[in-house]
């Protein structure tokens, strides 16, 4: 699979919004458009606007184009608002749950934590970052990783765990108590434009 391993701040500059909750990405300098003078005066057409929204979401959840396309197809297949279902499916990914719970500082760190086998779902090792959690699932980390996770949590002071997760900091367990709703997602994106992009 072709993974992007280059500079992450470049992605924030390309789409014009911080894709990570990190001072590197949220600084004013990081959000200047790429290039020496930031290609001023360039206006996006309809296609460019939809493409930009799609890239924002892809970069925020750190998924490949193929994975993203598969998720869009799944959202279209389910009954309901496809845009909201797309956000819900992406939000329920295991690597994202680890990030939202505050066990890792960024999506890249959360993905690595999962891929290296440090995360358990309902007591079973799950090393697929794309694993979809369901209501009632309990996400924990292996005991040998507790020190690292506690350091991550201390560095994320002030981090708010969304309402659809029930986090127990003393035991480092996270229970999924509900399905996420669009207003609980701390990333501003128009999902309906993304659905239109693939039609």
Task: For residue 132, list its beta bridge partners.
Answer: 93
Arithmetic mean of pLDDT over the chain: 87
* Domain encompassing residue 150: 94-178
What is the number of alpha carbons within 13 Å of residue 68 lying toward its C-beta? 20
Check whether residue 21 and residue 80 sit in a common domain: yes
Single out the residue of 24, 81, 84 nearest to residue 57, CA to CA: 84
Alpha-carbon distances of 183 from 52, 65, 109, 161, 189, rounded to whole Å: 21, 25, 25, 14, 11
Please state the domain count of the chain.
2
Tell if the pTM clears 0.85, that is, is over it: yes
Residue 2 domain flag: no
Q: Domain holding 63: CATH number?
A: 1.10.1050.10
Residue 18 domain flag: yes
**Confidence label for 54 from pLDDT (cuts 50, 70 and 90):** very high
Residue 141 domain flag: yes
Check whether residue 192 and residue 168 sit in a common domain: no
Residue 84 domain flag: yes
Contact 195, 77 (CB under 8 A): no
Check whether residue 73 and residue 19 sit in a common domain: yes
d(CA 175, CA 146) in angstroms, rounded, equals 17
Residue 1 domain flag: no
Residue 85 domain flag: yes
Contact 12, 19 (CB under 8 A): yes
Q: What is the pLDDT of residues 97-133, one digit of tens each?
A: 999 998 998 899 999 999 999 999 999 999 999 999 9
Single out the residue of 144, 155, 143 nearest to residue 106, CA to CA: 155
């Amino acid at each position: 699979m072709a993974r992007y391993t280059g500079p992450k701040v470049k992605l924030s500059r390309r789409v014009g919004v911080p894709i990570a909750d990190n001072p590197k990405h949220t600084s004013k300098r990081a959000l200047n458009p790429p290039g020496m003078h930031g290609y001023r005066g360039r206006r996006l057409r309809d296609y460019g606007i939809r493409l930009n929204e799609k890239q924002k979401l892809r970069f925020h959840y750190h998924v490949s184009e193929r994975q993203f396309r598969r998720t869009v197809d799944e959202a279209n297949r389910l009954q309901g608002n496809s845009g909201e279902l797309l956000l819900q499916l992406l939000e329920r990914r295991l690597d994202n749950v680890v990030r939202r719970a505050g066990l890792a500082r960024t999506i890249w760190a959360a993905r690595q934590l999962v891929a290296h086998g440090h995360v358990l779902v309902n007591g079973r090792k799950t090393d697929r970052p794309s694993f979809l959690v369901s209501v009632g699932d309990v996400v924990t980390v292996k005991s040998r990783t507790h020190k690292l996770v506690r350091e991550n949590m201390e560095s994320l002071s002030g981090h708010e765990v969304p309402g659809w997760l029930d986090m127990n900091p003393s035991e480092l367990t996270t229970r999924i108590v509900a399905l996420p709703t669009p207003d609980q997602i701390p990333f501003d994106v128009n999902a309906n434009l993304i659905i239109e992009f693939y039609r």
